[in-house]
Structure formats: structure tokens, C-alpha cells
Amino acid sequence: MQIHEFQELIERIYLQKDQARGVPGTFMWLVEELGELARHLRDGDRPALEAEFADVLAWLVTLASITGVDLESTAVAKYGAGCPKCGATPCACQERRGG
């Protein structure tokens, strides 16, 4: 399945509910799922980790759909030629550490 096919599938399943919830509510659900993903990255519960990755992807796609963003075309446009900053594959940028 391609990214656009997955986005269309999620739209068929949830678009009506997602549009009614709106961007702020949908974004909050995405953030909640990211928190659950973080917890399972820490605790190492593999089945739960896999489920949370799926949930994060679904909520990200939902957010893209209700804001009119085609994830496949935008992702390919940004990353299709390599790193958006240096253009290399693999990325040759120097990572900045610390803060």
C-alpha cells in the first residue's frame, strides 16, 4: 500500500468524525498517541509499541487530510532527492548537539 492509499483508507473510515472534531481536537489526539508511543519505547512492550506506531501514523494522516495536505506528494517533494538540507543520501549534515 502506498502512502496516498493509506491516507484515502483512513479518510474513508474516519473523515466525517475527524472533520467534526477539527484540527485542534485531532492534533490533541495525535499528541496523546505520541505520548503512548514514548511510553512503549521506554518500556519495551513490542506489541504495544507496534500498535502505537500504527496509531501515530493514522492520526498524522488524519490531521493531514483535514488540513488538505497530501502526505505522499509533500513527502516525496521534500525528501525524494535526499536530505532537504544537504541533498545527500545518506545525509551528510553535521548534527548539532546540546542546547
Superfamily classification of domain 3-79: MazG-like (1.10.287.1080)
pLDDT (0 to 100) of residue 20: 96
The model's pTM is 0.87
Q: 1-31 pLDDT, tens per residue?
A: 999 999 999 999 999 999 999 999 999 999 9
CA angle at 17 for the pair 13 and 23, rounded to the nearest 5°: 115
pLDDT (0 to 100) of residue 96: 72
Domain boundaries, the chain: 3-79
Which own/partner contact pairs does 16-21 have at CB distance under 8 Å and 24+ positions apart?
18/62, 18/65, 18/66, 19/66
